[in-house]
Structure 1
Amino acid sequence: MKKIKLTRDNVTLGDDVNAPHFLEIEIAPNWTITEIIKYILNINYLPKISGGYATWSVAIEEPIAVLTQKKHKEPLLLCFPDYPYDGTQGFVKIEHVHFNYHAQKKAHEVFEVLSRFKIKTDY
């Protein structure tokens, strides 16, 4: 088993008390990002928002997925579903997953913006 850290944005002023909402979980070293996200959703790490329209983006160094409270079992992936993890080609060392809160924005709008996200590189 491998330990990874979770953090998330606050959703209300009262939610600031526990910021940054740190949690450490154990995952299998061969889990894909899809399996990791499903596991995190199953442990109810993300708070439920009144009205049920919360939108979150998931980041591991860069945005990789968009989730909504209504359709949380159907994340919009910005990466391949088998996002490389330990022991796979293109290995990405996952140590920390952060959830960014986008209030009640529409998931497809957040997805569209994040899908154009590029990390600046020096040439």
Structure 2
Amino acid sequence: MKLYITRDSVAAGDDVDAPHARNSSVPDDADVSQIVAACLAASPLPSIAGGDASWALSSGVPLAVIAQQWASPKLVSQFPPNPNRLDLTDGTLRLHFTYFAQQSPDDVFAVLERLRLHAQ
């Protein structure tokens, strides 16, 4: 599966390359953790002074929270997302890293874990 990855800018000087688009690929049967790892490998997130940057990776739905101070990403759900809710266009999974500045990654995770984008 092809991946198209973008991310937010962290500072005005970082806007030069916005939306920081990168391409990668994973096997069609890749799970969320493999997709997150491929995105991080293809589009390394910038570090910030102070060392407490928080990010979320999404594709129509939140998939993971990444924190500069964490050793590894935290998946928002242990269950695979419904493929119909993912941003999949012409065989390419489109993903975006949202920058939450120095918000607590635990707070970002708590909000995204409870977030409902559609009626149940």
TM-score, normalization: structure 2?
0.82
Instruction: Give the distance between the partners of 1:61 and 1:72, measured in 2 at CA.
Output: 25
SS at match of 1:56: strand
2:100 partner amino acid: H
Alignment-derived partner of residue 46 in structure 1: 45
Instruction: Give the distance between the partners of 1:26 and 1:120, measured in 2 at CA.
Output: 28
Q: Which runs of 5+ in 1 are unaligned?
A: 85-89
Over 3 Å counting, the alpha-carbon distance change for 1:15 and 1:52 in structure 2 is same
Displacement of 1:64 = 1.8
CA contact (8 A) 1:6 1:97 kept: yes
Displacement of 1:44 = 5.1
Aligned residues: 114
Q: Percent identity?
A: 33
1:59 partner amino acid: S
Over 3 Å counting, the alpha-carbon distance change for 1:53 and 1:100 in structure 2 is same
Displacement of 1:72 = 4.4
Instruction: Give the distance between the partners of 2:100 and 2:61, measured in 1 at CA.
Output: 16
Alignment-derived partner of residue 77 in structure 1: 75
CA contact (8 A) 2:77 2:113 kept: no
Task: Indicate the larger mover: 6-15 or 47-56.
Answer: 47-56
Instruction: Give the distance between the partners of 1:16 and 1:105, measured in 2 at CA.
Output: 21
Instruction: Give the distance between the partners of 1:106 and 1:26, measured in 2 at CA.
Output: 30
Over 3 Å counting, the alpha-carbon distance change for 1:11 and 1:99 in structure 2 is same
1:5 aligns with 2:4: yes
CA contact (8 A) 1:57 1:65 kept: yes
CA contact (8 A) 2:23 2:42 kept: no
2:24 partner amino acid: I
Could you say what the CA RMSD is over the residues aligned between the two structures, in angstroms? 2.1
Q: Which runs of 5+ in 2 are unaligned?
A: none
